[in-house]
């Protein structure tokens, strides 16, 4: 009992520490005028998730490195959940400006090429008069997962900690789960998969989901190998605006790296909802409506390539 409590405290603490680090890391990558590190100074100005500029001493920062629980993964089958956990994610649509840092980080972490996106940012426009908004979409790790139901060989499974994972060494590539998932979350390796930076790729485990295996299905896994090390999933730490809150429903705590909040309170205060509740899939991902936006939606087009812009031509 004591042990598990201290684990929980550790989780929150690490989360907090990580948060700061990630803000720094993201800022380095961003290079936008108001976020630039002043030359030869010991403090940096950072944009907080609330849109305020804060000054932080560089000594307090460390840059996040992408490590896998390589050796750990080998001893863990990946089929059993992390004990006592019930992972949950909250995505604040009011903060997303389609910076795509989450996608880049996710692809790097999972050694997948640019054109494959486990995490997508869609441009949504609910009706003619509605204002368009950016909509980051991970796997929803549903509590009533239609993908798991239809898998004929138990290659995709639901764990006690809420995660829906894929065992790519079991998957027969029938793609039924892809038909089953109403959110088009899953991707298939149609040919021999390209593995970016194979040298740093950890040994395969359903928790690392990498390296990709040909003719099997893969998707967002909530990075359980990172979580086992007490770290946050890469999309959470990479987001410059703190859009993603990740945490444990049992602890009623979620963190986006810089702020740690009560999950229930956040959902209550900001009218959190689940996407397409009517489908009955019971997602573990909650959304906060795109109100009180930090950025105009147009900001999202700023750094896109022409191809990326073309994706949204139907919405504009």
Contact footprint for other proteins (CB under 8 A): 115, 120, 122-124, 137, 146, 149-155, 170-176, 178-180, 182-184, 186-192, 214-216, 276, 279, 281, 307, 310-312, 314-315
CB nearer other proteins, residue 246 or residue 312: 312
Least distance (Å) between residue 252 CB and other proteins? 29
Handedness of CA 299, 301, 273, 246 (dihedral sign): negative
Q: Are 138 and 222 in contact (CB under 8 A)?
A: yes
User: How many residues are recorded in the chain?
Assistant: 316
**CA 103, CA 134: separation in Å to the nearest integer?**
13
Least distance (Å) between residue 43 CB and other proteins? 40
Instruction: Give the DSSP letter of residue 299.
Output: G
CB nearer other proteins, residue 168 or residue 255: 168
Q: Are 185 and 275 in contact (CB under 8 A)?
A: no
* CA-angle at 277, arms to 273 and 281, nearest 5°: 120
CB nearer other proteins, residue 40 or residue 313: 313
**CA 25, CA 64: separation in Å to the nearest integer?**
6
CB nearer other proteins, residue 118 or residue 263: 118
Least distance (Å) between residue 163 CB and other proteins? 18
CB nearer other proteins, residue 62 or residue 122: 122
Q: Measured in Å, how far apart are the chain's first and last C-alpha atoms?
A: 54
Closest by Cα among 76, 87, 31, 50 to 248: 87
Least distance (Å) between residue 193 CB and other proteins? 9
Least distance (Å) between residue 177 CB and other proteins? 10
CB nearer other proteins, residue 172 or residue 271: 172
Least distance (Å) between residue 76 CB and other proteins? 19
């Amino acid at each position: 009992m004591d042990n598990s409590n201290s684990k929980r405290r550790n989780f929150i603490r690490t989360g907090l520490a990580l948060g700061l680090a990630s803000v720094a890391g993201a800022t380095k990558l961003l290079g936008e005028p108001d976020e630039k590190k002043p030359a030869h100074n010991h403090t940096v100005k950072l944009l907080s998730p609330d849109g305020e500029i804060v000054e932080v001493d560089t000594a307090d920062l460390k840059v996040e490195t992408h490590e896998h629980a390589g050796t750990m993964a080998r001893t863990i089958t990946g089929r059993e959940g992390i004990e006592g956990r019930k992972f949950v994610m909250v995505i604040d649509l009011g903060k997303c400006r389609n910076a795509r840092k989450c996608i880049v980080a996710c692809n790097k972490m999972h050694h997948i090429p640019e054109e494959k996106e486990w995490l997508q940012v869609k441009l949504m426009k609910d009706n003619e008069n509605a204002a368009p908004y950016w909509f980051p979409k991970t796997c929803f790790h549903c509590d009533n997962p239609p993908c798991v139901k239809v898998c004929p060989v138990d290659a995709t499974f639901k764990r006690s900690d809420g995660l829906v994972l894929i065992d790519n060494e079991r998957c027969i590539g029938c793609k039924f789960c892809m038909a089953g998932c109403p959110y088009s979350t899953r991707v298939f390796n149609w040919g021999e998969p390209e593995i970016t930076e194979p040298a740093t790729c950890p040994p395969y485990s359903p928790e690392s989901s990498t390296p990709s295996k040909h003719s099997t299905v893969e998707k967002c896994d909530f990075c359980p190998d990172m979580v086992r090390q007490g770290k946050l999933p890469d999309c959470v730490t990479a987001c410059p605006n703190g859009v993603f809150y990740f945490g444990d429903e049992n602890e009623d705590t979620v963190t986006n790296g810089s702020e740690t909040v009560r999950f229930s309170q956040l959902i209550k205060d900001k009218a959190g909802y689940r996407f397409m509740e009517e489908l009955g899939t019971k997602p573990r991902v909650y959304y906060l409506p795109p109100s009180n936006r930090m950025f105009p939606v147009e900001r999202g087009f700023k750094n896109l390539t022409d191809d990326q812009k073309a994706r949204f031509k139907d919405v504009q």
